[in-house]
Amino acid sequence: MASFFEKRDPWGHSLSLWVVVLMIFVTPVLFGVLREIRQENNVENWLPPDDPQSKVLQWHRDSFGIEDRVLVSWDGSSLTDLRADRLKQSLLGQKDAKGVRRGGSPYILDVATPQDAIQKMVDYHIDPDEAERRLKGVLIGTGMLKVRLSPAGKKRREQTIQELIATTKRELGIDLTVKPAFTPWVEMVDETEEGTVTDAPVEEPDEDQVDFKALVEAIPEHDFQLIWPRMQAHSKQADQIKEIALSLRRPEILVGASTAADQEAKSDQLGEEPKLIEDCFFAIGTPIAVAISLSDTGDADHASAVAAIKTAAVDAGIPAENLHMGGRPVAGAALNRMVKESSWNTAYPLWQFHKRSVTLFSGLIGIALAFLMLRSVRLACLVLLVSYYTTFVAVSIIPMTGGTMNMVLVVMPTLLTVLTLSGSIHVANYWKHAAHVDMKTAVVKAVEMARAPCMMASLTTAIGLASLLTSPLSPVRDFGLYASIGCVVSLLMVLYGLPSLLQLWPAKPPKASEIDTRHWQAFGRGLSRHQWLVSFSCLAIFVAACYGFKWFRTETKVIRYFPDSSRVIQDYLFLEENLSGITPVDTVICFDEKAQEDLNFEERVELVRNIERKIAEHPEISGTISLADFRPVSEPLPKDASTFQKLRHAKRVNETERRVRESLKKEKSGEVNLEGDTVKSFLNIADHTADLEQETANGARMVDIQKGDEMWRITAQVAIMTDLNYADLTNELNQVTQSVLRDHAGTTHLVTGTIPLFLRTQQAVLESLIKSFGLAFAVIAVVMMVLLRSPTAGLITMLPNLMPIGVIFGLLSWMHVAVDIGTMITASVALGIAVDGTLHLLTWFKIGIEEGKSKSEAVAAALGHCGPAMWQTSAVVAISLAMLYPAELLLVSRFGILMCALITAALLADIIFLPALLAGPLGTLIVNSQKREQKATEKHPLLQEGKESKPHLSHVVKRAQSEQSFET
């Protein structure tokens, strides 16, 4: 039967022409489709809606009406800073005569300032100092460590500072940074400006108006401030630095004093203060933060919302370089921007092209290497054209099917490019061998030789990628789906696109020296002679690396994808070191009808306050807030209270509960304006039942919410930039809450928010890695067993394919490097790529055995045939992917360098470990299997006749080798 490339259409044209015409025709159509591609990088949407933690989080958001929030602060901010109110007015607009706000940003729903929160607390008869304390670590920070020098220290200020820095570095290894003392912000007024009113009447102060100036002036005097990386006010490091600072003494007083007692005695004799630093402390009051809630419009477009906040901040008088922003919308917008910048970043000049576009630079390196390896400009151009066209088609499928680009899919174009490049280089090498014999039949013979191994390699790679569809994480499933489809497109382009182009635009036939493989054959014979040593050495490396899996861990924090030098990381560090943790974790306390009858409203408030106080004592929590913070502390009714006192107390409690519930009803009906109460944010009444599952240290527990249950929310702020184990934190919050609630029947609780979602996502990453890799391994192992006609041989053949994953991931675990969502997908991808070289080598080893060669000679012949293509493919792919390392988005950078390592390891496994196994027991199993197959064929003459009539794949190679030997 004639080959596809030998057939002609009714007009006498080769079918290759129509393949190329089809490629040209769909190009403009796909360009139009590709312009509609969108990005989506919302971590909260990674898990499916039916996941237990997703259900809890959605219930939590529906119950309390929680919107996405952005935390905004700036250098030198304090409670007297008028720019906070200006920022609020700029974002929300001004009220008109009818009380309707005009001129605000459509991206903003609400703005909460610490001044408003304190004023609201004072309105509820809470002392301003107490109100300020309750907002510590939420909207008000303690700032840097403030240092007050003694008179002796002030005389030698610079020497004291240098001694403190040097001593801290020597004893603790911490680098201190010295900052000026805090000074309250004062607005500079230009009195010469026209329209400036200098004699405006001064309004009488409201008795209930908080004196914020007095709160700021309460910060004790100090001489300078200290800050250090990952600073936390209540950490052990802070206590150690305080101890060092207070222990510094003036050198001239200490001369001749060898002990602390001598120092004190000598200082007493001289009558002088030996201390250089009188005190060091953290003080509440600076900086402050403004919490900005996004509207539905802002939630749909984080980039525009963040830009609107930045513009409003500058209009309020806050310099852009002093502004610091944090929160999920900020990280999401920055992630989307960096994903785009990995393709084209105009911040870098063209002469720094490796930074301007790491993906394009990776492609250019691949082009250069392809020219170098193939030694033919035309052949290299065709190979690269097919590779990039495949990527173009595969990426166009995403918007065509309604999909969106995400942080994981961003690496798919590079992956498909290198996978197609791999298959194309194999076909190009087959064509060079065939063209050396006969240019007219070169394309047909090359496709005949490439079809079986390329189909098996592409399909096994597609299986490895499709196994990612078992993941509960949507970005991983999307990657598995579109990348596996891309593998099928790649196979069609390798077996039909490239041969069609070669038939219409053939390259020059290669020289004999270009297909000289004697050094590869010699290498194969050397491996055969030392098969046992090589095999056991490879196994020893494999086992030693796999031992590192005992330290295997996962990481899903989006903020970890940014480099330390990025603006978003610097902003997060400022906020967490000076003010508040970025990540909220919520504890919801539920009272059923019985608990509401047993405990009156004030008793429930105090119960929530008690739980909040215990949560706030956790060292990793910067601050907490709940509705109890807006209520004064209630004194319990004395046991000997009179009936009148009891009735009056009950009336007061009932009246308080009635007002709170009326306010809640108004909020639900939308009657309360933006300045109204915010009861619904912290308290709600369940209007329907819900069966929720809560993960605890002792396993899952069910929480049943009934209609009418009263739910109180306690929000705790936790740092995201630390290495805190969120599983331990969640378990500790559960234990703290349960320790208080266990004595009150009818109460239960839930811990939810971003942190539990992180934990579930981390578990899903691990589950995805195990399931997808296990499924891919099982399917590919079955394929190998069928191909080799031996279950044992199939399993042994999988060892070289497992070795790259085991060694590289084992070394990552040895180095305590966490596996993120981008790293996870490389395992299944690497397995598919490793199988590519294995299948090509096995194919030609079996051909050698069929020709009557010994195992050693068959290994040498197989390496001689496949070695150059495997080396060229691996070099082009690995080096190209390594060029992604400079990418600022660490997800892309890590993917590139890890894939480079995996491909290098796969090459070494395929050209060292596999040949050694083929020369030993694996080769024996394959030989025995082929002998059994031959005997079975001899018993059935029809099978023998069919086999003999089929042209052998090795004929072209034998003729090329004979020709080469004759010329030599």
| Cα of 136 vs its chain's centroid, Å | 30
Would you state the pLDDT for residue 514?
Answer: 61
Which of the two residues, 624 and 835, has the higher pLDDT score? 624
Query: Per-residue pLDDT for 411 more than 60?
Result: yes
Indicate the range of 157-171, 768-782, 940-954 predicted with least confidence: 940-954
With a pLDDT cut of 90, the percent of the chain lying above it is: 30
Would you state the pLDDT for residue 128?
Answer: 92
Q: What is the distance between the alpha carbons of residues 447 and 428, in angstroms, rounded to a whole number?
A: 10
Q: What is the mean predicted confidence (pLDDT) over 320-326?
A: 94
Contact 298, 305 (CB under 8 A): yes
Which of the two residues, 917 and 770, has the higher pLDDT score? 917
What stretch of H or E contains 703? Answer: strand 699-705
Q: Which of 246-255, 459-468, 613-622, 633-642 has the highest mean predicted lDDT (pLDDT)?
A: 613-622
Query: Per-residue pLDDT for 767 more than 90?
Result: no
pLDDT bracket for residue 283 (50, 70, 90): very high
Which of the two residues, 945 and 19, has the higher pLDDT score? 19
Which of the two residues, 498 and 195, has the higher pLDDT score? 498
Query: Per-residue pLDDT for 921 more than 80?
Result: yes
pLDDT digits (tens, 9 = 90+) for 347-358: 777 777 777 778
Angle, in degrees to the nearest 10, between helices 601-616 and 643-669: 70
Q: What is the mean predicted confidence (pLDDT) over 664-677?
A: 59
Q: Which of 604-613, 654-663, 923-932 has the highest mean predicted lDDT (pLDDT)?
A: 604-613
Which of the two residues, 836 and 122, has the higher pLDDT score? 122
CA distances to 151, 700, 806 from 471, rounded to whole Å, are 65, 21, 21
Buried b / exposed e over 321-337, threshold 16 CB at 10 Å, is eebbbbbbbbbbbbbbb
pLDDT digits (tens, 9 = 90+) for 502-526: 888 887 777 766 666 788 889 999 9
Give rounded-to-5 percent helix, strand, coil for the chain: 60, 10, 25
Would you state the pLDDT for residue 494?
Answer: 92
Contact 623, 717 (CB under 8 A): yes
Residue labelled with tokens 């192992």:
781
Would you state the pLDDT for residue 867?
Answer: 85
Q: What is the distance between the alpha carbons of residues 485 and 465, in angstroms, rounded to a whole number?
A: 9
Instruction: Point out which residues pair with 926 in neighbouring strands.
Output: none
pLDDT bracket for residue 269 (50, 70, 90): low
Query: Per-residue pLDDT for 327 more than 60?
Result: yes
Give the residue among 507, 506, 499 at the shortest CA–CA distance from 7: 499
Would you state the pLDDT for residue 963?
Answer: 43
Would you state the pLDDT for residue 889?
Answer: 79
CA triple 921-923-924, angle to 5 deg: 65
Would you state the pLDDT for residue 43?
Answer: 66
CA triple 698-700-702, angle to 5 deg: 125
Instruction: Name 106's Cβ contacts closer than 8 Å, sequence gap at least 6.
Output: 295, 297, 298
With a pLDDT cut of 70, the percent of the chain lying above it is: 88
pLDDT bracket for residue 192 (50, 70, 90): very low
Would you state the pLDDT for residue 252?
Answer: 55
Indicate the range of 196-205, 288-297, 605-614, 758-767 predicted with least confidence: 196-205
pLDDT digits (tens, 9 = 90+) for 796-832: 888 898 899 899 999 999 988 888 777 777 776 677 6
Q: Domain map of the chain by residue range?
A: 4-37+357-552+761-967, 52-65+566-633+654-659+674-759, 145-184+209-281
Contact 668, 680 (CB under 8 A): yes
Q: What is the mean predicted confidence (pLDDT) over 680-699?
A: 84
Query: Per-residue pLDDT for 713 more than 90?
Result: yes
Torsion of CA 466, 467, 472, 473, to 10 degrees: -60
pLDDT bracket for residue 265 (50, 70, 90): low
Query: Per-residue pLDDT for 591 more than 90?
Result: yes
The H-assigned helical ranges of 635-790 are: 643-669, 726-741, 754-788
**Mean pLDDT of the chain, nearest integer:** 82
Q: Given the DSSP bridges, would you call strands 224-227 and 145-149 parallel, antiparallel or unpaired?
A: antiparallel
Angle, in degrees to the nearest 10, between helices 821-850 and 412-437: 20
Amino acid type, 135: L
Query: Per-residue pLDDT for 714 more than 90?
Result: yes
Q: What is the distance between the alpha carbons of residues 169 and 706, in angstroms, rounded to a whole number?
A: 57
Q: What is the mean predicted confidence (pLDDT) over 248-254?
A: 65
CA triple 805-809-810, angle to 5 deg: 105
Q: Given the DSSP bridges, would you call strands 101-103 and 583-591 parallel, antiparallel or unpaired?
A: unpaired
What are the φ/ψ torsions at residue 894 (nearest 5 degrees)? -65, -40
Instruction: Point out which residues pair with 583 in neighbouring strands.
Output: 718
Q: Which of 15-19, 625-629, 635-639, 758-762 has the highest mean predicted lDDT (pLDDT)?
A: 625-629
CA distances to 148, 165, 274 from 159, rounded to whole Å, are 15, 10, 15
Would you state the pLDDT for residue 245?
Answer: 93
Would you state the pLDDT for residue 960?
Answer: 45
Residue labelled with tokens 């974790």:
585
Would you state the pLDDT for residue 616?
Answer: 92
Q: What is the distance between the alpha carbons of residues 733 and 735, in angstroms, rounded to a whole number?
A: 5
The token duo for 954 is: 């090795």
3-state secondary structure of 472: coil
Would you state the pLDDT for residue 939?
Answer: 66
Would you state the pLDDT for residue 533?
Answer: 93
